[in-house]
């Protein structure tokens, strides 16, 4: 039976609950325990799949095809445990399930209420996989006091009561603001946040306090006294230069020990933190720099490409170089020459996206990288635009484009070298989709196998010819153009096992130009960099050596 840690937040949002949860998971692993992390989000969307990247940041996709919050990316990157569909739930999903049951008559005519029906649904979700791991870490999205989060707080209160004594603890993240004028940390916001939490029946066992300054012993004692928490369970969470310092920093502050003490686990196994010491060493003792441009359409919000930025950092760790990322708005190139913007970079990455806006700029970025022999990595839409660029400028198909853009405009303007995928094979069955299907959850989602061409650059990078990667898209490069494009030098070096869906393209005569239909960034970790990103940064490093 798993032990449960419920992580809540107070005072303000964006304090780093996801990072604290992930770091705690890593520390428990370092002590030899098995862990799984979950996210409970109060928003009414069924999942974040239909949210704008400007609204919510990136959508993290699991192997089994769930579209989830980006915090699940933190969980995977820090623990290496692949997230599952059952590791993320929203209020929208909970209410949808409850209403479906009501329509079926599962509640036998009873009046449906938040308590007990909604809270029971949440508790059933939390309890999934109870016998699989030693610790289950459940992060509650939002901030204590938010009206939409009340059913989740009530559910975890009930859940802790239902479980045997000592089976659940509560960890609360708060803010200790630094008042420069008086030169002191203020504990009152933390006191009020804990008071709010206690008013709904939850007493924190561990307090994690974000602050710009170290917490003096006097303030730590005051927090412990007024919040009814042991002094050694008041944990400081200072700002860090890198998020990958978090496991070591939290261990120095005693977070993992405080959690084990709250469960009464003594003596606690000693941690092996060699993995995280090596990660820190690779970050802070880099032996050079490379500059990489990310040419995208959501560059105003870095979280829209969170996993890509982290995967580039991991590639830098693999090569012991610091990767300097600069965000470049693809729309600029629709009216201006990309050369002045891109000439100073060692490599170019064009990420995924939806809709026509910015795509002509992405095409120009791919052309610039191809002609100037600069390493290029195109992901999802970035691959598709590289194919469109080849079709237009090498194969003479001047109207080449994507069917997505014709659907968006309602006009027939392009020869669709990229088309709407209407049917594909997943496991042992065929999936069918129509253009006018609902948007939510209807893409080609999750892990699919690809077969790589022997002797290709991508096979060399992976060190194998069979891979499995995660997808999130509804448009594909049309395989009927393969011969025409390969005659121009663009090799289709990765295909679905049935040979119908192009997964990877590359130029064999280019130093490093690879486009992939999937999202490799989702599987990269600091202690296990994704092979494509490691090889991409290596290629960028070679450019630096030549400059």
Residues serving a catalytic function are: 380, 519, 521
HEC string of 241-283 equals CCHHHHHHHHHHHCHHHHHHHHHCCCCCCCCCCHHHHHHHHHH
R_g of the chain, CA atoms, integer Å: 25
What's the rounded Cα separation, in Å, for the pair 138 and 171? 10
Run of H or E including 161: helix 150-162
Let me know: does 8 contact 137? Beta carbons within 8 Å.
no
Let me know: does 18 contact 47? Beta carbons within 8 Å.
no
What's the rounded Cα separation, in Å, for the pair 478 and 500? 9
The dihedral region occupied by 333, where left means phi > 0, alpha psi between -120 and 50, and beta the remainder, is alpha
Would you call 320 helix, strand, or coil by DSSP? coil
Neighbour-count burial for 454-475, b at 16+ CB within 10 Å, e otherwise: eebbbbebbeebebebbbbbbb
| 383, two tokens | 């691959």
User: How many helices (H) and strands (E) in the chain?
Assistant: 19, 25
What's the rounded Cα separation, in Å, for the pair 245 and 116? 42
| 359, two tokens | 């795509």
Residue indicated by tokens 């990489």: 292
Strand locations in 249-404 (E): 289-296, 322-329, 347-350, 376-379, 400-402
Among 11, 41, 60, 28, which Cα is nearest to 445's? 60
Neighbour-count burial for 382-397, b at 16+ CB within 10 Å, e otherwise: bbbbbbbbbbbbbbeb
Residue indicated by tokens 């005072």: 11
Run of H or E including 358: none
Among 377, 383, 386, 419, which Cα is nearest to 530's? 377
Q: DSSP letter string over 465-526?
A: SEEEEEEEESEEE-GGGHHHHHTTT-EEEEE-TTS-SEEEEE-TTSSSEEEESS-GGGG-BT
């Amino acid at each position: 039976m798993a032990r449960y840690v419920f992580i809540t937040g107070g005072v303000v949002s964006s304090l780093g609950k996801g990072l604290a949860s992930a770091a705690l998971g890593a520390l428990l692993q370092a002590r030899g325990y098995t862990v799984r992390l979950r996210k409970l989000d109060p928003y009414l969307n069924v999942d974040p799949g239909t949210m704008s990247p400007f609204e919510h940041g990136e959508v993290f996709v699991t192997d089994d095809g769930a579209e989830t919050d980006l915090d699940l990316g933190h969980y995977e990157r820090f623990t290496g445990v692949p997230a599952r569909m059952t590791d993320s739930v929203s209020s929208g999903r909970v209410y949808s399930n409850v209403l479906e049951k009501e329509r079926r008559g599962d509640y036998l005519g009873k009046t449906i209420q938040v308590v007990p029906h909604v809270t029971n649904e949440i508790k059933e979700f939390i309890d999934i996989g109870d016998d699989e791991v030693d610790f289950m870490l459940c992060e509650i999205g939002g901030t204590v006091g938010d009206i939409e989060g009340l059913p989740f707080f009530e559910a975890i209160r009930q859940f802790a009561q239902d479980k045997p004594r000592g089976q659940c603890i509560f960890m609360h993240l708060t803010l200790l603001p630094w008042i420069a004028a008086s030169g002191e940390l203020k504990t009152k916001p933390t006191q009020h946040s804990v008071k709010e939490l206690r008013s709904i029946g939850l007493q924190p066992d561990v307090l994690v306090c974000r602050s710009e300054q170290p917490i003096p012993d006097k303030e730590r004692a005051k927090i412990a006294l007024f919040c009814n928490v042991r002094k050694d369970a008041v944990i400081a969470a200072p700002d860090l230069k890198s998020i990958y310092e978090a496991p070591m920093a939290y261990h120095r502050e005693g977070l993992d020990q405080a959690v084990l003490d709250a469960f009464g686990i003594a003596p606690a196994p000693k941690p092996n933190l060699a993995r995280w010491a090596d990660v820190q060493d690779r970050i802070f003792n880099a032996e050079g720099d490379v500059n990489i441009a990310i040419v995208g359409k959501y560059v105003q919000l870095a979280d829209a490409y969170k996993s890509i930025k982290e995967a580039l950092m991991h590639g830098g760790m693999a090569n012991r170089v610091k990767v300097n990322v600069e965000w470049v708005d693809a729309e600029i190139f629709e009216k201006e020459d990309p050369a002045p913007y891109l000439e100073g970079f060692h490599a170019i990455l064009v990420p995924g996206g939806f809709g026509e806006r910015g795509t002509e700029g992405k095409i120009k970025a791919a052309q610039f990288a191809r002609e100037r022999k600069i390493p290029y990595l195109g992901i999802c839409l970035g691959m598709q635009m590289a194919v469109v660029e080849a079709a237009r400028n090498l194969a003479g198909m001047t109207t080449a484009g994507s069917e997505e853009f014709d659907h968006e405009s309602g006009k027939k303007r392009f020869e669709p070298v990229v088309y709407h995928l209407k049917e594909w094979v997943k496991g042992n069955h065929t999936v069918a989709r129509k253009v006018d299907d609902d948007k939510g959850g209807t893409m080609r989602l999750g892990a699919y196998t690809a077969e790589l061409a022997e002797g290709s650059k991508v096979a060399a990078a992976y060190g194998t010819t069979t891979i499995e990667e995660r997808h999130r898209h509804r448009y594909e490069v049309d395989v009927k153009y393969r011969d025409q494009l390969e005659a121009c030098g663009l090799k289709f070096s990765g295909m679905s096992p049935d040979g119908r869906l192009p997964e990877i393209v590359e130029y064999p005569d280019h130093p490093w130009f690879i486009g992939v239909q999937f999202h490799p960034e989702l599987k990269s970790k600091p202690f296990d960099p994704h092979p494509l990103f490691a090889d991409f940064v290596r290629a960028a490093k070679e450019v630096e050596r030549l400059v």
